[in-house]
C-alpha cells in the first residue's frame, strides 16, 4: 500500500508542433473520476474545433484508477502514450489531455505515438511537483485521568490533531496518522492508557506534505 506519492500543484498547458499538426497538452490535478470527467468536458468545449481530444488519468495513492482514450486515433497511439508519460514521472491524482489540430500530414503510427508522448511529457515537465500522503484518521475517546498519557503519546509521535471535543466525562480527539504507522500507534496508545482509551479509525485523508 502506497503512503507517499507525487502529483502536480496546479494546471499547466504546453504545446508542440509536428509536421504541421498542433498538439496541446493540459495537465490538471484531480482527485475523483467525476472531477476528471468535468475537466475533460471543459477541454472539449474550449477546443471544440480540434480533431482529437486524447487523455489519460491516474487517481489515488495506490494508483488504483487508471483511464485513457485514443479518441479516434489509431489504437495505442495516444491514450496509452499519455499514460506512459504520467508513469515516467510516477504521478497520481492527475489528468493529462492532449488535443490535436491536424495539420494535413499523416505522421504514421510510430510518429503519432511519439508526438502524443512528447506533448504529454512536455506538459508534465512544466508543472510543479508536490508530495502527498495517505493518512488514517484516528479517533480517541478517553477520560480525564488518561489525558497526560494520550497527549504525551501524540506529541512524542508528532502527529497532527485535527479535531477536539470535550464533555463532562470524555474527551474526543481526532488526529492524522500515516497509514503504515496506524497499527503501531494504536498499540502504543493502548499500552499507554492501559487499554482504557477507546481507539478507532474514522476514514482516510490525503494531505500535501
Q: What global pTM score does this model have? A: 0.87
Q: What average pLDDT score do residues 99-110 get?
A: 94
131-208: CATH number: 3.30.70.240
CA distances, 59 to each of 2, 90, 108, 206 (Å): 12, 12, 31, 12
Domain segments of the chain: what residues? 6-127, 131-208
pLDDT recorded at residue 167: 86
Helix 147-157 × helix 182-192 angle, to 10°: 150
Q: Which fold has domain 6-127?
A: Ribosomal Protein S5; domain 2 (3.30.230)
pLDDT band at 1; cut points 50, 70, 90:
low
Q: How many CA atoms lie within 13 A of 79 on its CB side?
A: 18
- Over the stretch 144-153, which tens digit does the pLDDT of each residue have? 999 999 999 9
pLDDT recorded at residue 77: 97
- Over the stretch 156-181, which tens digit does the pLDDT of each residue have? 999 999 999 998 889 999 999 998 89
Short-list 166, 172, 180, 183, CA closest to 150? 172
- Over the stretch 29-73, which tens digit does the pLDDT of each residue have? 999 999 999 999 999 999 999 999 999 999 999 999 999 999 999
pLDDT band at 2; cut points 50, 70, 90:
low
Q: What average pLDDT score do residues 177-203 get?
A: 95
Q: Is the pLDDT of residue 14 over 90?
A: yes
Amino acid at each position: 500500500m502506497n503512503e507517499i506519492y507525487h502529483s502536480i500543484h496546479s494546471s499547466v498547458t504546453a504545446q508542440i508542433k509536428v509536421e504541421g499538426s498542433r498538439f496541446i497538452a493540459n495537465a490538471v490535478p484531480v482527485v475523483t473520476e467525476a472531477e476528471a470527467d468535468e475537466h475533460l468536458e471543459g477541454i472539449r468545449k474550449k477546443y471544440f474545433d480540434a480533431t482529437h481530444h486524447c487523455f489519460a488519468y491516474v487517481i489515488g495513492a495506490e494508483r488504483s484508477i487508471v483511464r485513457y482514450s485514443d479518441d479516434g486515433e489509431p489504437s495505442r497511439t495516444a491514450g496509452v502514450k499519455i499514460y506512459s508519460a504520467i508513469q515516467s514521472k510516477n504521478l497520481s491524482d492527475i489528468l493529462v489531455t492532449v488535443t490535436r489540430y491536424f495539420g494535413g500530414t499523416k505522421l504514421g503510427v510510430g510518429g503519432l505515438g511519439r508526438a502524443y508522448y512528447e506533448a504529454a511529457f512536455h506538459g508534465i515537465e512544466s508543472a510543479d511537483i508536490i508530495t502527498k500522503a495517505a493518512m488514517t484518521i484516528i479517533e480517541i475517546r478517553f477520560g480525564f485521568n488518561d489525558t497526560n498519557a494520550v497527549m504525551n503519546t501524540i506529541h512524542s509521535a508528532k502527529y497532527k490533531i485535527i479535531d477536539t471535543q470535550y464533555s463532562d466525562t470524555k474527551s474526543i480527539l481526532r488526529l492524522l496518522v500515516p497509514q503504515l504507522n496506524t497499527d503501531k500507534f494504536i498499540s502504543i496508545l493502548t499500552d499507554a492508557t492501559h487499554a482504557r482509551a477507546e481507539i478507532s479509525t474514522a476514514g482516510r485523508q490525503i494531505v500535501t506534505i
